[in-house]
Structure 1
Amino acid sequence: MVTLFGTVPHPIMIDILIALTSGVKGVVDVRSELLIESRQHPDSGDQVVEAETNDPMR
């Protein structure tokens, strides 16, 4: 489970983040493997993005 704290204004930011962390692998491929959930952090009110994968190689 990867949790990122900070403001995520738009889903494109998630794509950019995945593109940076995935290297050569396509964003669409990675997005299909990840379960991405965005919610507000209860204390700070910032958007929290949680991503988890079932791929054992990550």
Structure 2
Amino acid sequence: RVRSASYGGTQMRYRLQAGATELHAAAPAMHAHAPGNEVTLALPPERLWILPVEQ
């Protein structure tokens, strides 16, 4: 589910909720989704960035 969306030039930036997990994503601005919308994610491993947990 889209929690928030913001326009960032050529991209939309999203905060998404997947169960108990919050995800951050970017997508082309032509594919805008509103907060509250249900979306489907495709997560190709070669496109993922895994960041360390902030302490």
Common fold by TM > 0.5: no
Structure with the bigger RCO (C-alpha within 8 Å, sep 6+) is: 1
TM range (shorter): under 0.3
* Greater helix share, structure number: 1
TM-score, normalisation: structure 1: 0.27
* Greater strand share, structure number: 2
